[in-house]
Structures are given as structure tokens and as C-alpha cells.
Amino acid sequence: MRPWLILAVAALALPARAPAATALGQAGAEVVTPITVTSLADLDFGVIATSGLSGTVTVQAEGGASFAGGAAGLCDGSSCAAPHPARFAVSGEANRTYVVAAPATIIVTGTPIGPGGGTAPDLVIGGLTVRAASRPGAGSGGMLDGQGADTFTVGGTLALPGQLPPARYRAVVPVVVTYG
């Protein structure tokens, strides 16, 4: 059989095409003011005395601190900074909700102080909690006001081993804020 004849027979075997259907869809976008967050105050566990026992210091996101086990606070508020939560300002699109994400734990590194030097073991901050000023009972979520502003605080628990040498401890408290 000739190739042109095979093509002619094959073309006759194909079904006829139906008319094409068309439709128009829509595309859209909404541009909002970028959300920003600014640190106003650091999470501070205060000045702590430890005994031979392990202990904890908990700073609540709503304010206030508690000491347990071999940890005791030495600040009375007049001679040094009392323990307090971290405080952040949020700004963005007015009347929008937002959510704060914080890590489960933070490693805190220390620098020995006083005679003898030595090393300061790493400590762990866990149990981080967030409290928005606009929605104090909503966990890690808040709402920007009519001017696009709000604040939130972050608290947590610092675990202290027994026989901890004198040291100054510092850590970064990372938070990520997104529209909710």
C-alpha cells in the first residue's frame, strides 16, 4: 500500500471534532501593608542564686515570675532589674489578625564572672508563651488596631542545674510574625 493511501484511510477513521467551548475566568490580588515586628524589651530572668539543687525560673507572658527548686530571685526591684517578659511591637494592615511563632526551646550561653573563670554550661529556655495585648486569651494570636498596631509579650521557663557557677547568660529570642 502506498503511504499516502494509508494516511487518507487513517484520516477518515478519526472522529469529527466538536466545536470548542470557551469561558473567561478572573484573576485577583490584594496588596496589604507588610507586617513588621520590633523588640521593645528583652526577656529577663533577673539575678538568680542557685543552691546545690536544680531549679527553674518562670517568667509569665502576662508578667510576674516564680522560682522553684534550687533557684531564688535576688532582685527586689530597686537594686536590679526584676524579671519580666520580652515585649514586641507589631505594625501592619489595620484590623488584620496576626500569629506569632516562637521556638520550642532556646539554648542560652554563659560567660563566667568572678575569680576562677572556668566554663559556664549552656542552659535551656523552654515553655515559651505569647500573649497579645489585643487578645490576651488567644494564645499566640493578636489583632492589629485601627491604626495597624499592637504589642505582645513572650515568657518562658529557664532550667538551672545544681551547682551552677556564677555567669552572665544571653540568648536571642527569635519570633516570626505573620498575618493570620
146-155 confidence digits (pLDDT tens): 999 999 999 9
Torsion of CA 37, 39, 40, 41, to 10 degrees: 140
Do residues 160 and 57 touch, judged by C-beta distance below 8 A?
yes
40-67 confidence digits (pLDDT tens): 999 999 999 888 899 999 999 999 999 9
Q: Tell me the whole-structure pTM to 2 decimals.
A: 0.82
Q: In order of start, what are the domains of the chain with their CATH numbers?
A: 33-179 (2.60.40)
